[in-house]
């Protein structure tokens, strides 16, 4: 049977090998053993039910609480030549009954449904008359009341299943399940311990980075400039921030859309579509964005503000790199954001006990920003990952190339200068004074008479600014939130001024150049344009045509024939039939042009 599974993997999906965890799960399903798969986002859970669904006789029913994902999934299967459909509330009653009728006749190998479907007795009796291959619970953690996303309607499916005389093998799939949730799912879906496959939470293609003490806008600008065509999400905490970032990036000529609760449903939908279809490259959004989308080629996720806890952060950041290609997860840290999160907790209507718990979770999020250990490891430890991990070798802590410098003296000068300026100026002015600037404003305020004036004249003003931001990030200085951000001292400042504490800062030598992939950018761009055109023609998202990973491999391998092209990851028979010749042509053209 597993041999057939390999054949189907190649033939329909164009992949040559299984990912970690896929094989045992598929094996259990083929042996008709109910099974549970716990694999990270992007781990490839869909294939775990799709392959048995193709091999077993009958129609597979996939239950998913994310209605917005169904169409994508179904489009994707159909594009592989696999007859599939979905039934949910977005369809008219007539359409629903027509599709259900076709399901009964065995026209489809896959039918995706929302949990609510099972409330309908009509649906149940239709299913009873259908030959079923398997039933899969996607996002299975939603059936457990211990999970962070419990849906009562999902749980009640379990009771309804008993009414089916023809219950086939059942699979559950999820990316997040604590021990408690796992046990609960096992109990509800009758899954034995031996049939639980847990691959851990590690996402090896994600490159976690923390950026401290840099002006956030400067960072974003520099970052986007080096990858203008890649898709990315910037998460911000407030509507105001989102509107501002969106306006600023548009002005900078970035193709950007925004998404937050203040927009109409129509506006949100349109923004989401533009992003999915690669019409815009950057999405600025609240963390509500991304729940129901499966875009596989998100190359980076930037957090403009501190998330409230590690769980949310890992989920949001994890929306990058579902296709397994290397992607960045960048957190722009500033100490001020901690105050905002504390404020949100304080203002909330939670019980005191729950508040304390939230404060502790927030503290662990803050610790993540200050740790000098591997960032991947920090999170996997937090999640009690069942596997041991080595340092990832690519996060900003594993990679820091800068030298650690003692900046205690510089800090003392800056702090005492802030004090002498009566804590009534922002970082720009403070930097000018310690630098010894002769600007009119400094002269007017007579700050050139201060004893701290010019004490850091050997440094660049820009470097002084960075130090000030770093001191703010570390909590040695605070920023007063008024019309102008004014610097003031904190409790922590005193220890520095008194010489009781030292300050270390990692000074980066030069900003590390973006690691260019070894592909011809022009060619990649051509293929990307072709993909976009085909996607528009077929009314499907671009990544359903081919993933970024496949396009890159095409650029590198430059296949000339059908059989060569079939060797490329992500190209199966059906895909070749649909798009193969066009891509081969595009690759041929390129060879003439650049050779
Ligand atoms: P999940 O549901 O676990 O988050 P998906 O099922 O959406 O992940 O798969 C994520 C990506 O991984 C998809 O683009 C899929 O085509 C790809 N993928 C899945 N299995 C394999 C495999 N064996 N080899 C290569 N790519 C795979
Ligand atoms: Mg999935
Ligand atoms: Zn690391």
CA of 224 to the centre of ligand 2 (A): 28
Helical (H) or strand (E) element with 488: strand 486-489
pLDDT 10s per residue in the chain (595 long)? 788 999 999 999 999 899 989 999 999 999 999 999 999 888 899 999 999 999 999 999 999 988 878 888 899 999 999 999 999 988 999 999 999 999 999 999 999 999 999 999 999 999 999 999 999 999 999 998 776 677 888 988 999 998 898 899 999 999 877 788 899 999 999 999 999 999 988 898 999 999 987 789 989 999 999 999 999 999 999 999 999 999 999 999 999 999 999 999 999 999 999 999 999 999 999 988 877 677 889 999 999 999 998 988 998 999 999 888 999 999 999 877 888 888 888 888 888 888 888 888 888 898 888 777 789 988 998 888 877 778 888 999 888 766 778 899 999 999 999 999 999 999 899 999 999 999 999 999 999 999 999 999 999 888 898 889 788 767 788 877 555 678 999 988 998 999 988 888 877 654 443 444 567 778 888 999 999 999 999 888 888 899 888 998 899 889 999 999 998 888 988 899 999 999 999 998 876 765 4
CATH number at residue 132: 3.40.50.300
Q: Which of 155, 180, 198 is the last residue of a domain?
A: 198
Whether ligand 1 lies within 6 angstroms of the CB of 323 is answered as: yes
Same domain, 171 and 88: yes
Cα–Cα nearest to 87, from 116, 109, 129, 59 = 116
Same domain, 503 and 526: no
Report d(CA 594, CA 155) in Å as an integer: 58
Report d(CA 52, CA 12) in Å as an integer: 13
Same domain, 290 and 375: yes
Report d(CA 39, CA 174) in Å as an integer: 6
Same domain, 337 and 440: no
Residues 6+ apart with CB under 8 A from 538: 79, 545
CA of 46 to the centre of ligand 1 (A): 7
Whether ligand 1 lies within 6 angstroms of the CB of 44 is answered as: yes
CA of 422 to the centre of ligand 2 (A): 56
Report d(CA 298, CA 579) in Å as an integer: 23
Residue 396 located in a structural domain: no
Q: Report residue 256 as tokens.
A: 């950007």
Whether ligand 1 lies within 6 angstroms of the CB of 136 is answered as: no
Whether ligand 1 lies within 6 angstroms of the CB of 174 is answered as: no
Q: Specify the pTM.
A: 0.69
CATH number at residue 462: 1.10.10.10
Whether ligand 1 lies within 6 angstroms of the CB of 41 is answered as: yes
Residue 389 located in a structural domain: no
Exposed/middle/buried for 346, CB within 10 Å: 0-12, 13-18, 19+? exposed
Same domain, 183 and 227: no
Whether ligand 1 lies within 6 angstroms of the CB of 42 is answered as: yes
Whether ligand 1 lies within 6 angstroms of the CB of 108 is answered as: no
Residue 516 located in a structural domain: no
**CA-324 nearest atom, ligand 1:** 12
Residue 51 located in a structural domain: yes
Same domain, 286 and 327: yes
Report d(CA 279, CA 430) in Å as an integer: 43
329 φψ region: left (φ > 0), alpha (ψ -120 to 50), beta (else): beta
Residue 65 located in a structural domain: yes
**CA-43 nearest atom, ligand 1:** 3
Range of the domain at 481: 403-507
Q: Report residue 35 as tokens.
A: 């099974």
Exposed/middle/buried for 242, CB within 10 Å: 0-12, 13-18, 19+? buried
Whether ligand 1 lies within 6 angstroms of the CB of 18 is answered as: yes
Report d(CA 267, CA 277) in Å as an integer: 15
CA of 529 to the centre of ligand 2 (A): 27
């Amino acid at each position: 049977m597993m041999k057939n599974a390999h054949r189907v993997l190649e033939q329909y999906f164009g992949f040559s090998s299984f990912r970690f965890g896929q094989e045992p799960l598929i094996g259990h399903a083929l042996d008709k053993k109910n099974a549970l798969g716990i694999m990270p986002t992007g781990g490839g859970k869909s294939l775990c039910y799709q392959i048995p669904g193709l091999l077993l006789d009958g129609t597979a029913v996939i239950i998913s609480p994310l209605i917005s994902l169904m169409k994508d999934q179904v489009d994707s299967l159909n594009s592989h030549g696999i007859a599939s459909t979905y039934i949910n509330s977005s369809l008219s009653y007539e359409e629903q009954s027509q599709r259900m009728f076709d399901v009964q006749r065995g026209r489809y190998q896959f039918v995706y449904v929302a949990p609510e479907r099972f409330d309908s007795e009509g649906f149940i009796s239709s299913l009873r008359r259908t030959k079923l291959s398997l039933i899969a619970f996607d996002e299975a953690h939603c059936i457990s009341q211990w999970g962070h996303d419990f849906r009562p309607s999902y749980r009640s499916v379990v009771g309804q299943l008993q009414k089916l005389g023809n219950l086939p093998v059942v699979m559950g799939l999820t990316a997040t399940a604590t021990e408690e949730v796992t046990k609960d799912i096992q109990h509800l879906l009758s899954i034995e311990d031996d049939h639980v496959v847990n691959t851990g939470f590690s996402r090896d293609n994600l490159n976690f980075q923390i950026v401290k003490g840099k002006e956030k806008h400067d960072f974003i600008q520099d970052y986007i400039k080096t990858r203008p065509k890649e898709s990315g999400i910037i998460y911000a905490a407030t509507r105001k921030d989102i509107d501002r970032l969106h306006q600023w990036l548009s002005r900078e000529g970035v193709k950007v859309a925004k998404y937050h609760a203040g927009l109409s449903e129509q506006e949100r939908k349109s923004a989401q579509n533009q992003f999915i279809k690669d019409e815009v490259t950057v999405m600025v959004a609240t963390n509500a964005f991304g729940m129901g989308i499966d875009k596989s080629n998100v190359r980076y996720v930037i957090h403009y503000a501190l998330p409230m806890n590690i769980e949310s952060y890992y989920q949001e950041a994890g929306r990058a790199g579902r296709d397994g290609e290397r992607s960045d997860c960048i957190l722009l840290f500033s100490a001020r954001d901690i105050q905002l999160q504390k404020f949100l907790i304080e203002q909330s209507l939670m019980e005191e006990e729950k508040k304390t718990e939230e404060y502790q979770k927030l503290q662990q999020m803050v610790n993540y920003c200050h740790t000098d250990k591997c960032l991947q490891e920090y999170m996997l430890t937090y999640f009690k990952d069942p596997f041991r991990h080595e340092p990832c070798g690519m996060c900003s802590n594993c990679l820091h190339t800068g030298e650690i410098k003692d900046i205690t003296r510089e800090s003392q000068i800056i702090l005492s200068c802030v004090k002498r300026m009566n804590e009534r100026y922002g970082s720009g002015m403070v930097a000018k004074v310690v630098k010894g600037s002769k600007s009119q404003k400094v002269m007017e305020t007579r700050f050139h008479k201060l004893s701290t004036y010019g004490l850091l004249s050997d440094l660049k003003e820009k470097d002084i600014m960075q130090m000030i931001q770093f001191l703010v990030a570390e909590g040695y200085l605070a920023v007063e939130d008024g019309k102008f951000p004014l610097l003031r001292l904190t409790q922590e400042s005193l220890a520095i001024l008194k010489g009781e504490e030292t300050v270390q800062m990692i000074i980066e030598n030069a900003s590390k150049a973006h690691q260019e992939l070894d592909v011809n950018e022009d060619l990649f761009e051509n293929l990307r344009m072709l993909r976009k055109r085909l996607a528009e023609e077929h009314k499907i998202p671009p990544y359903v045509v081919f993933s970024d990973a496949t396009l890159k491999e095409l650029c590198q391998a430059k296949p000339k024939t059908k059989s060569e092209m079939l060797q490329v990851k992500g190209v199966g028979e059906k895909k070749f039939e649909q798009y193969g010749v066009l891509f081969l042509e595009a690759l041929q053209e390129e060879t003439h042009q650049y050779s």
